[in-house]
Amino acid sequence: MQQDLVRAIKSNPKYHELVSKRAKFAWILAILMLLIYYGFILIIAFNKEFLSQHLWEGSITTVGIPVGLGVIISAFILTGIYVFRANSEFDRLTAEIKEEVL
């Protein structure tokens, strides 16, 4: 029974659509996050002067603080984007697959 269910799911075209869309979307977000993170690291490595500039005259805070916070916040935003799409499109496809197979 279990093997038949697995075969039925794997042979469903919507399952292949779900796997393909989810993988592409995850890779896009992963690459975007890596670009943001490694971009920040490259700025630290090759342009420390930019990050060490004060935000305004007499300020204690440097440009590096909001840029670093931006890296952290971007991770939360990208996670939220993935969750939003997973809860809408990916869950809809999963429900359709369940209906067709069961």
| Ranges of each domain in the chain | 33-102
- CA 78 and chain centroid, separation: 4
Average confidence score pLDDT of the chain: 95
Quickly state the pLDDT bin for 1 (edges 50, 70, 90): low
pLDDT digits (tens, 9 = 90+) for 33-82: 999 999 999 999 999 999 999 999 999 999 999 999 999 999 999 999 99
Nearest one of 25, 4, 7, 14 to 94, comparing CA atoms: 14
Residue with tokens 């909001």: 66
Does residue 18 contact residue 42 with C-beta atoms inside 8 Å?
no
Neighbours of 8 (CB within 10 A): 14
